[in-house]
Amino acid sequence: MVYKIDGCKYDVVIIKKKNKNTYIRFKEDMKIYVTTNYLVSNSFIAKLLDENVDTIRNMIDQVKRNQEKKEYFNYLGNRYDVFIDEVSEIKFLDDAIFVPSEDYLNKWLKAQIKNLFQERLDYNYRIFKKDIPYPKLKIRNMKTRWGVCNIRDNSVTLNSRLIEFDLEKLDYVIIHELSHFVHFNHSQEFWNLVSKYIPNYKEIRKEMRE
């Protein structure tokens, strides 16, 4: 299907899923993407595009602005295009994220980091088969380290940028720091302990360096 706006023709890519609703997006490849239910007809989609032509026009303008100044958002191992849109809350759709404002996104992300990091620390502490004290969680942005173990104040500090990686990498850093409560060095005994919980830790370390 091809759709014409302001004298320009745009290819329409129709993606059918078990959706209850129909979503319209315009991507950087300059195509209109319609995600809808299997039962929705092409004639209905064409009518829907007509009804939302002003919204699509705004999407086109937004993509053109983003191409001039790219905005990306890395979250749990995935990369999303960020769109400031008239939404009441954050919405993820395929490889895009729609937010009311950049400030809203930053506040949402800060809350996600706090809750998720605490959840993963709790989980990894439960499976850690060593008698160590339950550490306090600290979070901050660090330039050269992903995590820090402090035995003196019984704390684990995690780099806030870990939110950009998938959970496997976040868990690796937590296990790494918990293992330092047993071996406060990087001896072979230390790595043997880490490998009990993260057998592929070498591959993860390599990926996190790249």
DSSP for 104-132 reads HHHHHHHHHHHHHHHHHHHHHHHH--S--
Pick among 3.40.630.40, 3.90.1150.10, 3.30.2010.10, 3.90.45.10: CATH of 108-209: 3.30.2010.10
Q: State how far the alpha carbon of 102 is from the alpha carbons of 32, 82, 83, 114, in Å.
A: 25, 9, 9, 19
pLDDT at 96: 87
Query: How do the domains of the chain map onto residue ranges?
Result: 1-69, 108-209
Note the pLDDT tens digit of each residue in 72-91. Answer: 789 999 999 888 877 888 98
Spatial separation of the C-alpha atoms in residues 122 and 193, rounded to whole Å:
18
Q: What is the pTM of this model?
A: 0.67
H helix intervals, 52-166: 53-68, 102-127
Is the confidence at residue 70, as pLDDT, over 60? Answer: no
